[in-house]
Amino acid sequence: MPAPIDHEFVRAAALAADRSADPSAEFIEPHRALARRVKTMVAAYRSPESGLHGSERAVAAALTHLRALRSAQTASGLFAGGDNVQSPPDSAFTVNDVCDAHVLAAGAGPELADVTAALAEIAGAATESLLAGGVHTPNHRWELSAALARLHRSFPDDRLLVRAEGWLAEGVDIDADGLYSERSAVYASIVTNPALLLLAEVLGRTDLADAVERNLTATLDLIRPDGTVETVHSRRQDQRQSFALWPYLPHYRLLAIRTGRGDFARAARLAAADGIHDPDLLAQTLLTPDLCRALPAPDAEKLPRERYLPTARLAARASATAHTVVYGGSDVPEHRRIRSGLACNPTFLRLFAGAAVLDAVRLSRGFFDLGPFRAADMRRLADGRYLLTETLSAAYYQPLPPDRRRDDGAYRMADEGRFSAAMAFPDRPRDEVSHTTRVQVDLREDGADLRIDISGPPVPWALELTFRPGGEPQGAVPLGDGSWCLTTEPMTYRVGDDEIRVEAAVETGEPLAGPDRRDVLRYDPGQDYTVVGGTDATTGNRVYIGGRGPHTLTVALRATTSGMKD
């Protein structure tokens, strides 16, 4: 017997849609936003729970938006706007909403006949370009395939299915741990998972729904105590952002209802903990009625727990006191460049202790301006123990061999990894200089112990601990501009009744730098950023521990929360 209808959830979805779908407001919006508003308007018109149910004003507003949407279509049927010019995938986002709105409008009767016709005209104008169009990111394949499947659903054409199956024949880019190749919470929740679920339904492909379930399973251990999803390992723009859990709500909810998984039900409840604000949920409940069913009983949270994702080189440990993330999966050591589409974030540890949050731990080294520590290797030594390692190398170049010299001195431009010049670097003998950093992390119930070993030639280094605003370091020396210096005296960062204690000790090497060494106690993003005047620096309350290597030091991070004190 199917689960009963969750009327409270449906009412909340309708309220979210109503807040967005004010038919009296004037809007000048990009094509994707226009299509989403039309879809929301039609859903509100259709839903008995909405204040716009059966509203002529909603119909009139939808038609106004549709005229603006049709005018944004170019002669190719693709939409104008944005930095991706004549973009099939960007247009596919809009067509997906257009087709969903068409399904909703076509089932509403003659009152929405003009809306249905306008939607069909827009979809028809885009069809040929979407059939022939290409992509430029991994998730675009699935968004474009979903648009082709939706077009076929409303306007049957076998060519659409053949093209979608052609994209899918490349194989879904999901790894052994359940992460998509972009490792992005934004694109998993907003693009890939909803696209694959739609394709599974239209094409009868249960393997695609299975891929979504695997991704949602992996994401369970990436949910952080503040209601966000870990992004430090992402290869997309969210790698330096905080991303909320709520976009995952419909997927966790739907698969919890269909599979009975209590862990998914718990995640769905967490995603809705701050209320339901997504105006698109109402349309989804009408298009996928299973979403309206009551959730199965949620599983209780299991603590402590630890998960290591070797494909992303990311570990997370959660206890009643602390939630700690360790990361060593940057793409920069292999590719030796900062680039859109690569995982570039140099944060290698985070620690949550209730309201006290250590958002980022990073390590700068003054070695040929090659940037902060980004582990090239991460090994799990034992449960809760990890070793992160990176060896940097740079070279001084000897004279060219006689057979490679030119009388005109016109040598080819070459990039040697940190510098480009007309010097034919690959043809020259090299004198290598190397520098190795090792960070061992021992995860504990109440935090983590770090053992940092910096070897190689003497160079300045600085460990940066960035705390989320809300407290102030006690026991560290203020440097001004939101930063502090810590040497071997302990410090605490307290927010309310929650705190993180930090204590450093030198095992080998010179004494740590004092507050007079501002030249050392700073974060250096490296020349890939500074050559163009950029940075990837954090914001927040920054505490520095630094010196001139070689060094071996230990750093103890201890969490105390109000729950412990009770």
Structural domain for 135, as ranges: 7-292
Q: Look at residue 421 and tell me if it is in a domain.
A: no
Domain edge (last residue) among 233, 258, 292: 292
Q: Which residues of 343-359 are buried (b: 16+ CB within 10 A; e: fewer)?
A: bbbbbbbbbbbbbbbbb
Q: Are residues 251 and 371 in the same domain?
A: no
Final residue of a structural domain among 266, 292, 318: 292
Is residue 245 domain-shared with residue 140, that is, in the same domain?
A: yes
According to the model, what pLDDT value does residue 549 have? 92
Q: In the chain, what is the greatest distance between 2 CA atoms, to the nearest angstrom?
A: 87
The CATH number assigned to the domain holding 441 equals: 2.70.98.70
Say if 424 falls within a structural domain: no
- pLDDT for the residue numbered 66: 96
pLDDT, tens digit (0-9, with 9 covering 90-100), for 26-84: 666 899 999 999 999 999 999 999 999 999 999 999 999 999 999 999 999 999 876 66
pLDDT of residue 267: 98
Could you say which residues of the chain have pLDDT below 50? 564-566
**pLDDT of amino acid 32:** 93
User: Exposed, middle or buried by CB within 10 Å (0-12, 13-18, 19+), for 94?
Assistant: buried
Asked if 487 and 338 sit in the same domain, the reply is yes
Measure the CA–CA gap between 245 and 538, rounded to whole angstroms.
Answer: 22
In a domain, 174, yes or no: yes
Pair 537, 560 in one domain: yes
Residues 137 and 258 in one domain: yes
Pairing of strands 551-560, 323-327: unpaired
> What CATH number is given to the structural domain containing 280?
1.50.10.10
288 shares a domain with 317: no
Tokens representing residue 342 in the block: 């690569």
Do 76 and 130 lie in one domain? The reply is: yes
Note whether residue 415 is domain-resident: no
Last residue of a domain, one of 264, 292, 320: 292
Q: Over the chain, what is the mean pLDDT?
A: 95
> 3-class DSSP state for residue 293?
strand
**Bridge partners (DSSP) listed for residue 505:** 554
The residue type found at 268 is: A
> How many folded domains does the chain comprise?
2
What's the pLDDT at 298?
98
- Token pair in block for residue 363: 């390590």
Tell me: do 265 and 327 sit in the same domain. no
pLDDT, one tens digit per residue, over 339-352 is: 999 999 999 999 99
- Residue 565 confidence (pLDDT): 42
